[in-house]
């Protein structure tokens, strides 16, 4: 087993060699004759404990102690002092010295103080190594959490994409419309100052807000004209159907209110008669984005509306169909018609 290492720094040969004799049986002992030499030795060698004389020429022991503690804070230092410099030795404890030995020293005292110094050194090393182990475990755990989060996110995004493509398979118009609504809803949410995470959830929910339409008869869904009252009643079920589909995916839970309530009007005259702030904010945002996009895009049975008319429709229906707070974002230019138009075009060009 490797012995613990002691360095004795003393300008006088007699105490230096006496210490070597006392300590050599139990420790690996090296000696040098001054502070400068001692610091140089420590630069190139591993040492556990230094026995350091206070009164030395060139570099005194207190200066050497401060230098040792600056570069090697883990090395324990025991000072050697004559009676005359006893107060200095006591004072030196505050500079990081472990203890002191008074000359002429007693063999048992030397062994006892050095032993205690070594015990402290090993205890500090143990704490340090436990800390490093803990730090490594924490880092590994953080990596695992990040990987799990990435997996969940890729699962989440993959599911949204799959549902989005299911809409595409059923009705390409609704697919394109849903993606444009997602972008508009995200713009509105951003202007309301909502956090990135919430905006992202609203955008994803908006992309699948009409997922329930996959349960609606194709002849109704793609009808080029007004729906009969019966057909309209059937169409009104798509939020319920969509919510039922999405409820089966636990991590899409937050999309349910958007899917279920995106046809609610602010005045309570929507599909389920929820009113004002009873309607979740995310659903009010998607409702406005849904209507704006529908007005801006032509259908086989009607033309698209010019931007100025979209603006007027929003103003006229603020507080009845739409949440005034959301309409205000557009009227006050926080979300400009140009931004809406550009978002609409950039999404259209992606499809």
Euclidean distance between CA atoms 207 and 197, whole angstroms: 16
The least distance separating Fe ion from the CB of residue 267, rounded to whole angstroms, comes to 18
Q: For Fe ion, which stretch binds (CB under 5 A), given 109-117, 128-136, 176-184, 203-211?
A: 203-211
**Cβ–Cβ < 8 Å for 288, 265:** no
Which residue's beta carbon is nearest to the bound Fe ion?
210
Query: Between 172-191 and 281-296, two packed helices, what is the crossing angle to 10 degrees?
Result: 130
Residue number, 10 or 290, with CB nearest to Fe ion: 290
Among 203, 210, 293, 323, binds Fe ion (CB under 5 A): 210
Euclidean distance between CA atoms 230 and 245, whole angstroms: 23
The least distance separating Fe ion from the CB of residue 154, rounded to whole angstroms, comes to 28
Euclidean distance between CA atoms 212 and 154, whole angstroms: 23
Q: For Fe ion, which stretch binds (CB under 5 A), given 17-25, 94-102, 156-164, 207-215?
A: 207-215
Q: How many residues bind Fe ion (CB under 5 A)?
A: 1
Active site residues: 213
Euclidean distance between CA atoms 263 and 274, whole angstroms: 10
The least distance separating Fe ion from the CB of residue 207, rounded to whole angstroms, comes to 13
Residue number, 91 or 218, with CB nearest to Fe ion: 218
CA angle in degrees (0–180, nearest 5) for 69-61-103:
120
| Interaction of residue 264 with Fe ion, rule CB under 5 A | no
Residue number, 11 or 210, with CB nearest to Fe ion: 210
**Cβ–Cβ < 8 Å for 55, 85:** yes
Q: What are phi and psi of 11, to 5 degrees?
A: -75, -20
Euclidean distance between CA atoms 60 and 79, whole angstroms: 11
The least distance separating Fe ion from the CB of residue 208, rounded to whole angstroms, comes to 11
Q: Which two tokens stand for residue 103?
A: 């000359």
The least distance separating Fe ion from the CB of residue 332, rounded to whole angstroms, comes to 27
Q: For Fe ion, which stretch binds (CB under 5 A), given 32-40, 47-55, 206-214, 333-341?
A: 206-214
Residue number, 48 or 290, with CB nearest to Fe ion: 290
Residues that bind Fe ion (CB under 5 A): 210
């Amino acid at each position: 087993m490797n012995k613990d290492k002691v360095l004795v720094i003393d300008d006088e040969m007699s105490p230096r060699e006496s210490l070597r004799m006392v300590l050599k049986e139990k420790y690996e002992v090296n000696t040098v004759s001054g502070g400068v030499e001692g610091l140089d030795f420590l630069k190139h060698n591993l040492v556990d404990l230094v026995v350091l004389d206070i009164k030395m020429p060139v570099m005194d022991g207190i200066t050497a102690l401060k230098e040792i503690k600056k570069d090697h804070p883990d090395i324990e230092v025991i000072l050697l002092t004559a009676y005359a410099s006893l107060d200095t030795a006591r004072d030196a404890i505050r500079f990081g010295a472990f203890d002191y030995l008074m000359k002429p020293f007693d063999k048992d005292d030397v062994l006892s103080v050095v032993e205690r110094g070594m015990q402290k050194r090993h205890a500090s090393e143990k704490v340090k190594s436990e800390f490093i182990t803990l730090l490594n475990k924490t880092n590994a755990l953080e990596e695992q959490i990040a990987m799990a989060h990435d997996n969940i996110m890729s699962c989440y995004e993959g599911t949204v994409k799959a549902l989005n493509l299911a809409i595409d398979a059923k009705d390409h118009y609704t697919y394109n419309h849903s993606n444009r609504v997602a972008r508009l809803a995200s713009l509105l949410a951003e202007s309301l100052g909502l956090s990135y995470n919430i905006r992202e959830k609203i955008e994803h929910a908006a992309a699948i807000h009409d997922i329930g339409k996959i349960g609606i008869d194709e002849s109704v869904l793609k009808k080029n004209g007004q729906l009969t009252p019966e057909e309209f009643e059937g169409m009104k079920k798509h939020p319920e159907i969509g919510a039922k589909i999405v409820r089966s995916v636990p991590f899409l839970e937050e999309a349910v209110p958007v899917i279920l309530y995106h046809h609610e009007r602010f005045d309570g005259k929507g599909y389920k008669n929820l009113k004002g702030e009873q309607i979740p904010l995310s659903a009010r945002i998607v409702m406005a984005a849904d209507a704006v996009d529908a007005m801006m895009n032509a259908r086989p049975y009607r033309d698209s509306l010019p931007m100025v008319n979209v603006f007027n429709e929003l103003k006229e229906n603020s507080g009845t169909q739409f949440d005034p707070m959301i309409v205000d974002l557009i009227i006050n230019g926080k979300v400009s018609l140009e931004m809406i138009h550009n978002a609409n075009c950039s999404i259209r060009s992606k499809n």
